[in-house]
Each structure stands twice: as C-alpha cells, then as structure tokens.
Structure 1
C-alpha cells in the first residue's frame, strides 16, 4: 500500500517538473537576442540598399539616412536585463499554484473515479491472510463466511504471485476452489502444486477430485489414472474408494461402483455412521444394474423428493418473480439433475419433485443416491441472471429423505 502512494507522489513530481521547468528557464533573453540579430541583419541589408541608391544617384543625403538607421537600431534594443529578470521572477511564482492545482486535480480525480477503496481492501485482505488461514484450519470446524472465503482466495492469489513455488499455498487455494465449486481455480492451483511436489498422495487425491468435476473427458481420464495409482499404494485413503465409486456410477459402470462402495464398507466397519449411507448407495446402483439387465422386468418408478422452503427474516419477497427449486448431486455440481418453477406464495412452502422434473431424459432424478437441493427467488424471469436474487441450499441428503432449505443469501 505504501509503495502505491510513493509511486503516485513520484509520478506527480515528475509531471510537475516537466511543466514548471520552462518557467525557471524563460525564453525572454533568447528572444531579445534573436530580435537583435534580426535588426542587425536588417541594418546591414538597408546599408547595402543605400549604397546602391547612392551610386545610382537616387539619394542625396546618404549620411543622414545612415545616421537615422543607426538611431532606429539603438531604439529597438531591449530596455534592460534587469527588467527581463524581474519579469522572469514574476513567472516563477506561478510554479506554486501550478503544483497545488496538479496535486488537487490528480488526487481529486482519483478519489472520484479511482479504486482506492478496492486497493485498501486488497491491502487489508493481504494483511489478514494468516488469521483467515488459521481460521480455515481450525480443528473445531469454524465455518468461514462467503466473504471470508473470497478474501482468503484473494489473499492467497496475491501471496502466490510473490512466492510461486509455495506448494502448500497452491494446495490451500485449490481446496478453497473446491469448497467454492470453482472447478477451474481448483484444477489450476492443484495442478501447480502437483508439478511442484510430484507423486504426493494428498495433492493427487485433491487434484483427482477436482478433475472429476470437470466436463472434459481428458480430465476425467487423468483423474481415473491418478486414483488407480493411489489405489495401488500400501496405505489407501478411504476417499479414494469414494471417488472411484463416484466416477464409476456416473459412467454407468454400476458393477465397479458397487465394488468400491463395498470395499469402503469393509474398511470402515458396520459401526461407522457412513455404513448405512453406503448401503443405500449400493442398493441404488443395484437397482440400476437390474434395470440394465432386464428393462421390462419392472417399471422404474421415481422416488419423489419433498422440499420445505423457508425465508430468513431479512428477505423481502418481490411483487413479481418465481421460485426456482433445483436438485443436484450431493457433490454440489452446478448443473441440476431436476428443476421446477413455482409462483411466489406465502412462506414456508412445501413442494415435491420427481422424475418428471428431470432435466435430461437419460439421467433421471431417481438415478441419484445422494442429493442436495437449492432454491432461489428469481426476480426477472431469466434463469441465467442471478444479480440480487436471494437463494439457499440444503445439506446433502439421501434420495427419499425430506429436504429443508432456508433462503438466506444474496448473490
């Protein structure tokens, strides 16, 4: 921050010097010299003319004319150097108001149209980076607000510009990107960290998770290769099983998804609270597998999702608009699997979505095992615009459980 203001002062000083310098080096003396030289040249030319006229007998009083010409030359000499110097001193006093005017104009225009507030916030965020990082890593699970997450991202980006070889910083930025569902940032940061510390299992696991959220097939293949590599290690992180099952299920490879989920069950044991959730995921995959084997054996009925939506006290319901409810996979993918619009009524309100609300025919709502629900009050009727819309989302739940959403955030 200090460097910024020092830089502005230096630029202003250079500008003032370029404007004021001519005032301390006035041109009056040079102009007087030029006029004197011009008069001498004129005097010399006029003498030559008089000589020619005298020889031609045109003039009779040549000496008198020469005397008058000399007198005119003397009369046109500048009054005195003292007067010239006094005039220059008066001009020099203009330097002070010019400097004041330039400083007032420069900083005044910057105050009106510049980004001094953003610059100050940027400096503040950078100074708060250690505190925000400590809060993020707090084992008590203190949740950062959306603004704190944005500040932490900005601070990390700034710090990494100065220390680009800080692998830990890149990992932290990548994980923040994952938490914010910013896939591009997550992949870029974690790829940088992986290049700095190759074959680090923890970094590879985070990177593979980010790559699985990408729609690019090359990224998906890379994630699969990394997870297969991690699966061959002596100590396998339980998240590897989960990510491999997730990839297999999304690819429609239900046999492999069941294999990995059962492998994860064997690792955690029946006493773990996650065991029952994994069992439901296995049952869902098994139903899809049975349907693939014999499509006519049963009519695939969708499981309805009951959603109760409430508003926080600060939300003002607009006079016009709609309520948009969307269901996503539990990983928080931005692309909804099912969605529906409802008129704005009195809150809280309860709605039900099922397979008829699926966005894509080939991917039904009932094909998911775990979901999350988002709700938004859309004010302009355009789904693609979200400015100033209020929204909220549920915690991840199992398909078939009731969802509860509180609309309490504003874009």
Structure 2
C-alpha cells in the first residue's frame, strides 16, 4: 500500500501549498493597506459636506424659509449623520505580518489528519489489498487455490466488515468442498449487505445441497423468505424444480424451471434448465421440446388497422409490433418495425427479433402483444399514437395455422 499513500501525499501537497501561499504576500498586502489608510481623505470629505449643508441651513434661516426650531432640528440631524459616518470610518490597527502564523501549521495538520481519517472510513484501501493479493497469487509461480484461500482468510481477520472479502471467500469454500465454511461466509455477507433475495437464494441453494437435496425446515424458511421478497427469483425456482423432479413431480419441476428460465440472465444456466425440462418431459412420456432455436419458439401475429382510424394516420407512419413479458419487468422480448402502408400484415415474433440476449421471447410461456402506430417514428409512446394490444398470448412452436390477431383500435392519450 506504499504507492497508495505516496499518491495521497502528492495530492495533499497542493492543498497544503494553498494554505501557505497567502502568507507569502502578507507583507505586500499590509504595505498596501497602510498606504491606503494614510491617503484616505473620506473623513475630510464628510466634514466638508457637513459644513456645506450647515451653511445652506443658516442661509435658509436668514431668508426666513425656516424658523429656529426647524433649524435646530435639521442641524441636529446633520451632526448625528456626521458622527455616524465618522464612526464607520474608524479602523482597527493593522496586525503584524507574522500574526496568525502559528495557526497555519495547526490547520495543515488538521487537513492531513481529516483527509487520512476520511479515506480510512470511506476509501477502498481494503479492496485494493484484495486486488493486490489476487495479482500476487496469480503471478506467483507457486500460486495455487490453497495459497489464495489462505491469504483471503488472513485478510478476513483484518477486514471483517468488508463485504468483498466474504463474497470472495464464499465461492472459494464452495468450490474447494467446504460447504460449512461457505455457508458461514455467505451468512457473514448477508449480515453486512442485508437480507436481499440473491444472497438468500444462494444460501438456500447451498443449504439444500448440504441437506442432500431435501427441503429441511431451515431451507424452506429461506425459500419462503426469498420468494416473499422476489417471487421471480430464478435460483430458488431452480432449486424447487430440482426438488420436485427428485420426488417425481415432473409437472411442478417443469413449471418451476420455466419460470426460472424466464428470469435468468446467464444463457448457459438457462440452457441447462431447458435440458432439465426436456428430461422431465421424457419421464412423463411427453415428446420433449426441441431447443428454442431449432423449433422456432415465438408467436405469429396478424396485425390490422381499424377502419374507423384509417384517416387518422398517413401511410408512411411507423408501426411497432412488440412482445413483452406479462409482468412488464423485462425489456421488450421481440420488436418488429413496419409501416401503415403494409397493413394488414402477418409477422413472426421470435428470438431473431430480440433486442437483447437476456430478454428473448423463447424464455417465457406467455407474452403480451402491443402494436403501436407512431406518427413521429419515436419508440416512446406519444399522445395521439394509435395502438392495440392482446394479453396472455401463448408462446410456442410457430405454426402456419395458428396466429394471434391484434387490431389497432385505440388512441394513446
């Protein structure tokens, strides 16, 4: 960590210089102030103004414009104003050039101390240490998983409240066949980060396999807590699918795995769950589903425009044909763009129309179809756009004889 502290020291040097810099010009500034005060004639000017006004009052009294009472009143006001102006012109004596110099070192020490303390509390020194350990073991000719684990365990004693320590130790223990230590590391991580669904799901999965794939009360409690926070949590749904499969409940296993696939981001994990679905279908005596790419999972859609709205849009207006998940939590699963002049038309929404590999129509069993006519061509709905939709459309092998009908018959407001 020596290079880190050297870098911090180099960053502090400009700040310390800014504290010292004003002192270098203190003597010049004091000389200018003394010269200004010596040549300041504001007091004489105030007295001259007072005398002119007083003479004007006396002349007005002699002419009879004002009486003695009014003269005395106005003169008193002039004298009061002169006293106030003179009082505000009074200046305190200038301090010596060396005044306050002892405070500067104290401020410098305070700046360094406060900066160091703040970094220790909020900085990433601990994470930099973890990275250094990882690089050191990786570059060591004798580096091994055991060496890395030993170094991380030592770091856990020094940084017991760093979540990155425990998130690194958990997979190390799990992959080296130490499930109890893996569970302890995960529990320490949960204690720091909070009881969030992904961490609870991983703990439930680990405890599930430690219990030889049984839903013990401890595992069931974790499952229930996770699903209450996130009913779509894929790790827990996958776990429940395995348990149902082991107990011969293939329908439930398929349902759980399909729900997990619809919410999982890792393509390899999703494909392994699809393999499990096909095995469960074989056990049921049902023809297994072919891989999505081979069988063309998707929806055939017939799109038409209500005759009552034909005059509301031009032929070159843009038509967006979109498939979304039922809960609306994922990005669009498939999007096709067309023009009003092409209506009525039939399109196929499948994985080739996906916007992202993490959100494809083959990942869900049902989808919501939304067709929108945009007068401006913008992807975001605008007031005056025309649209039509269809809820809960089954997703499956694309058939020439089976198509969903969506009629554009409403106006977006």
- Assess same fold via TM > 0.5: no
TM-score (norm 1): 0.35
Q: Normalised by the size of structure 2, how large is the TM-score? A: 0.35
